[in-house]
Amino acid sequence: MLETPAVIVVGAGVAGLSAAAELARSGLSVTIIEARDRIGGRIFIQRDPASHAAIALGAEFVHGTPPEIWQLLRQHNVPLTEVSGDQWCFQNGRLCACEIFSEVDAILKKMDAHLPDESFLSFLERCLPESGITSKQREAKRRALSYVIGFNAADPERVGVHWLVQQIYADEKIKGDRAFRSPNGYEDLLDVFRHELARAGVTINHETVIKSVNWSAGRVEIKAHKNGTLCKFIAPRALLTLPLGVLKASSEDSAAVQFNPALPREKIAALQRVEMGAVIRVSLRFRRRFWDDIPVSPSKTLSEMSFLFSEDEWYPTWWTTMPEKLPIITGWAPFTSGQHLSGKPRAFVIDHALNTLGSLLGRKPQELSSMLVGASFHDWQSDPFSRGAYSYGGVGADDAQRALGSPIDNVLFFAGEATDSSGYNGTVHGAISSGHRAAQEILRSLV
């Protein structure tokens, strides 16, 4: 007979991995249940067959200097390299240096968390009504809207100003405007967790899809399917790190999890105030870095390009692998762009990427297609185990993340990026932090 673990952790994303590692270090027996055949959740790395470079299908950048990530990687001698290079904007039909960011920052700084909460779109219309602004202000307004949509994968009619202000303040603390990568992407971080969990003897049950969570005082029974067979896991307590999109899934959805008894009303209310963003990102791999030859002035080309911003309806943002010069460029399709691409055939997603890139860089799609050697993307919206990219706070979301992460009767505990209440939800470091917070809550419940 299998020994009953002290804690069942549902989900092997970084929230679940960090919590399981901390609980195991404290002497508790831990079992992890994971629906996928791999760990990492919305961290998903593939390898470019030619260069062996890490191709991120999900999280890619380390935003700023969060200690949750930096300390772990430094302890294992994993270096981080800062993203560098030129940033270009496409406007009025041509490429030019991005010179509007200071005006965008000025707009964002007008947001006030002491005023009643409102959507970002409502804030923009109130502060910069179309009838009374200059053409330069109108351009800054469009860019501010694009930034909030792009960075947060958010619906501007739903994302709350209070949440955006908290996010900006939190980012300032860790220099969040800077971006870094490790040599193998976030696979380096997953390797750290693999090592810690293996050393602690933590069991991970892959391809195990939970269907119901039955809980009462001092007991949790989780029913799941593994290879078509029903299985049960029983423990005194469980930590749930399910993505927000799965927690919000309707009862008719195949990904839905049934709670018996149902989650408390305050937990359900918190779920309604936090939103799940939509993104499709596609990495295109070419035979060579053709943009190195594209001139932007008599003495300058795009060879040092790191980011390219536009207002394209399909892929408004692009980035390269700078400072490493690989023939790989990534297109980012947030919010409505991602929604329109989600569920579409692979050829549709890639063709639209080539069309957009060609129009921005002055190259025919057929020319780019002839140089293309590979393309990678993952549809997170259609993925039943994520149901979206990452979370953001809606209007009136003040304290919603805390309520979403709060334990129930010292039996059910909650973690995951959507439960981070420090301004870092939607990030890898926010997910790790939530795992640490939940682990400490579990340990305190034992005293």
Residue 230 lies in a domain: yes
Cα-Cα end-to-end distance for the chain: 28
DSSP assignments along 249-261, one per residue: --TTSTT--EEES
Q: How far apart are CA 354 and CA 371, in angstroms?
A: 11
> What pLDDT digit, counting tens, does each position of 208-218 carry?
999 999 999 99
Residues 247 and 332 in one domain: no
Q: Is 123 a residue whose pLDDT tops 90? A: yes
| Residue in this structure with the two tokens 């469009």, named with its chain if needed | 142
State the Cα angle at 424 between 421 and 428, rounded to 5°: 120
Residue 419 pLDDT = 98
What pLDDT, in 10s, does the model give residues 348-387?
999 999 999 999 999 999 999 999 999 999 999 999 999 9
Tell me which residue range forms the domain holding 197.
Answer: 7-42+186-275+395-445
Cβ pair 305, 88 in contact under 8 A = yes
Give domain status of residue 107, yes or no.
yes
Please report, for the domain that includes residue 255, its CATH number: 3.50.50.60
Q: Do 261 and 286 fall into the same domain?
A: no
223 and 292 both lie in a single domain: no
- When divided into structural domains, the chain yields a total of 3
Whole-number pLDDT of residue 99: 81
Q: In whole angstroms, give the CA distance from residue 113 to residue 166.
A: 8
Q: Where does a domain end: 173, 201, 216?
A: 173
233 and 217 assigned to the same domain: yes
| Contacts of residue 224, Cβ cutoff 8 Å, sequence gap at least 6 | 33, 208, 209, 210, 211, 230, 231, 232, 233
Summarised one tens digit per residue, pLDDT across range 68-91 is 999 999 999 999 999 999 999 998
Q: Does 323 lie in the same domain as 296?
A: yes
Q: What is the CATH number of the domain that holds 329?
A: 3.90.660
Q: Please tell me whether residues 316 and 351 are part of one structural domain.
A: yes
**Single residue among 173, 196, 212 that ends a domain in this structure:** 173
Question: Percentage of residues in the chain with pLDDT exceeding 90?
Answer: 90
Say whether both 413 and 269 belong to one domain.
yes
Point out the domain boundary residue: 112, 143, 173: 173
Examine the domain organization and report whether 271 and 281 are in the same domain. no
Give the DSSP letter string of 229-290: EEEEEEES-EEE---HHHHT--TTSTT--EEESPPPHHHHHHHHHEEE--EEEEEEEESS-G
What is the average pLDDT across 95-114?
A: 91
Tell me, what's the pLDDT at 286? 97
Tell me whether residue 423 is in a domain.
yes
Same domain flag for 406 and 425: yes
Same-domain check for residues 281 and 373:
yes
pLDDT (0 to 100) of residue 2: 53
Dist CA 416 CA 435 (whole Å): 7
Co-location of 417 and 341 in the same domain: no
Return the half-sphere exposure (C-beta side, CA atoms, 13 A cut-off) of residue 30.
Answer: 31
- Per-residue pLDDT band at 102 (split at 50, 70, 90): confident
Res. 20 pLDDT band, cuts 50 70 90: very high
pLDDT digits (tens, 9 = 90+) for 246-283: 999 987 887 789 999 999 999 999 999 999 999 999 99
The 10s digit of each residue's pLDDT in 416-433 is 999 999 999 999 999 999
Binned at pLDDT 50, 70 and 90, residue 22 comes out as very high
Model confidence band, residue 49 (pLDDT cutoffs 50, 70, 90): confident
- Domain-embedded: residue 91: no
Together in a domain, 265 and 327? no
Contact 249, 382 (CB under 8 A): no
Q: What is the pLDDT of residue 1?
A: 38
